[in-house]
């Protein structure tokens, strides 16, 4: 049966329930907070994508990239509580992409590859003295408590160097190689072990010193470094100078530890390029890298980023595994350059960076033996390191 409507009259509409004002306020605040966190994270990711070195604003945004994952996670939670479904999905998608592209724990450093308690150990501490104004007694007490083998100091002034000796640092660490200077330009190395071959690293705006210590019968180069802050034009050049000074030695197998105030994080391109010579940030060597934030320690109640680092060589521990199908040999070193991979098994071929003696026949002989037995020998790069795999192929599984 059809309904008849009287002209000028309409059927009564069902009453609508309006959210209470506090519910609307809660949703509005959730949207505002969630989108603000998403925009901040997106700005930092964009700065990293741009290299993190084009202008002071980009540099600072990229340096804050350690906060990207926490910001996006907070956005997901806040938007979900505010029942903004599409915004929640958008924040979750950005979070997934960010974690896949830039793993935050550890972010950019990788792991050292040295099992805990194994291998030669060298305990290194670094401290920025803030224009020489740090409390010498407090620093000496911290050294006594932490018991490092090597202490790297930046912004070491002549007055601070004298105050540290008076406070008893020379008793705890009797060996030193220091180049104090006014303001922020001085650095120094203090050690419980003899320091040999002391020298200065050329090419940086602030002074940087280096020396060698003996660790279990093996020499290790240690350096106290301090690239200029990003407000100065030499910031990127200082990082490049350090890479040029230590890159060839690391490629040849030299053990190097750089410690100091780098004025950069893994979000900044110059610092990442320094890591690429074969170094890893020691604070990011484990599964949890959210530790040791160091800047700005003098302006905020809590520092928000870490610009002070101890960089150590990537581990060279070798793992050997075997099963019914073959053998695998894995190392956690810097890996093999992609351009060199096709030549690894070529007779008489040696990488240009090799400094040891040899004819370049070892891997070629291994490949010849494998082929003679109808086995398959291959190599591939890992992150980090490289893997050599030997497969024992049976007659039913031989590849053409």
Give, rounded to a whole angstrom, the gap between the first and last alpha carbons of the chain.
80
Which residues of the chain are in CATH 3.30.565.10 domains?
318-391
pLDDT in tens, the chain (400 residues): 444 555 555 555 555 566 676 777 878 888 888 888 888 888 888 888 888 787 878 888 887 887 888 888 888 898 888 888 888 898 888 888 887 776 544 343 444 444 444 456 788 999 999 999 999 999 999 899 889 999 999 999 999 999 999 999 999 999 999 999 999 999 999 999 999 999 999 999 999 999 999 987 888 999 999 999 998 999 999 999 999 999 998 888 788 999 999 999 888 889 989 998 988 887 765 434 444 666 776 666 667 778 888 898 876 445 555 555 667 777 655 667 788 888 888 887 777 655 445 567 778 888 888 888 888 888 888 766 678 888 876 544 444 4
Specify the CATH class of 124-313 in words.
Answer: alpha beta
CATH number of 318-391: 3.30.565.10
- 143 neighbors 125 (Cβ within 8 angstroms): yes
241 in Cβ contact with 273 (< 8 Å): no
The angle at the Cα of 55, spanning 154 to 46, to the nearest 5 degrees, equals: 105
Structure-token pair, residue 307: 């610009």
The ranges of the chain annotated as CATH 3.60.10.10 are 124-313
Instruction: Measure the CA–CA gap between 381 and 334, rounded to whole angstroms.
Output: 9
In the chain, DSSP assigns E strands to 124-128, 150-154, 175-179, 187-191, 196-200, 209-215, 218-225, 256-261, 279-281, 308-313, 318-323, 326-331, 376-381, 386-391
């Amino acid at each position: 049966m059809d309904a008849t409507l009287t002209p000028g009259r309409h059927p009564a509409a069902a009453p609508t329930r309006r959210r209470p004002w506090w519910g609307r306020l809660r949703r509005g605040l959730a949207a505002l907070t969630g989108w603000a966190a998403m925009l901040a994270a997106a700005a930092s990711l964009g700065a990293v994508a741009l290299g993190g070195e084009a202008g002071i604003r980009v540099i600072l945004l990229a340096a804050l990239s350690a906060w990207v994952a926490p910001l996006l996670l907070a956005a997901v939670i806040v938007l979900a509580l505010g029942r903004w479904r599409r915004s929640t999905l958008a924040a979750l998608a950005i979070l997934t992409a960010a974690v896949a592209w830039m793993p935050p724990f550890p972010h950019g450093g990788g792991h050292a590859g040295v099992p805990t308690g194994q291998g030669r150990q060298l305990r290194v501490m670094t401290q920025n003295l803030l224009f020489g104004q740090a409390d010498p007694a407090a620093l000496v007490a911290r050294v006594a408590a932490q018991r490092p083998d090597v202490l790297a100091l930046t912004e070491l002034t002549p007055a601070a160097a004298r105050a540290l000796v008076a406070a008893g640092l020379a008793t705890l660490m009797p060996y030193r190689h220091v180049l104090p200077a006014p303001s922020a330009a001085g650095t120094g190395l203090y050690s419980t072990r003899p320091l040999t071959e002391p020298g200065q690293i050329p090419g940086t705006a602030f002074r940087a010193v280096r020396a060698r210590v003996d660790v279990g019968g093996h020499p290790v180069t240690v350096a106290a470094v301090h690239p200029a802050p990003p407000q100065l034009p030499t910031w990127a050049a200082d990082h490049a100078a350090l890479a040029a000074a230590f890159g060839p030695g690391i490629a040849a197998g030299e053990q190097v530890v750089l410690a100091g105030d780098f004025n950069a994080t893994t979000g900044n391109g110059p610092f990442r390029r320094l890591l690429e010579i074969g170094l890893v940030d020691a604070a990011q060597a484990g599964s949890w890298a959210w530790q040791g934030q160091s800047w700005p320690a003098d302006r905020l109640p809590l520092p928000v980023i870490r610009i002070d680092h101890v960089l150590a060589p990537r581990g060279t521990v070798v793992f050997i595994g075997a099963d019914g199908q073959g053998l695998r040999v894995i190392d956690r070193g810097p890996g093999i350059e992609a351009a060199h991979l096709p030549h690894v098994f070529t007779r008489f071929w040696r990488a240009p960076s090799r400094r040891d003696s040899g004819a370049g026949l070892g891997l070629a002989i291994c490949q010849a033996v494998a082929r003679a037995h109808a086995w398959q020998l291959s190599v591939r790069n890992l992150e980090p390191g490289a893997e050599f795999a030997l497969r024992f192929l049976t007659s039913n599984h031989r590849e053409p």
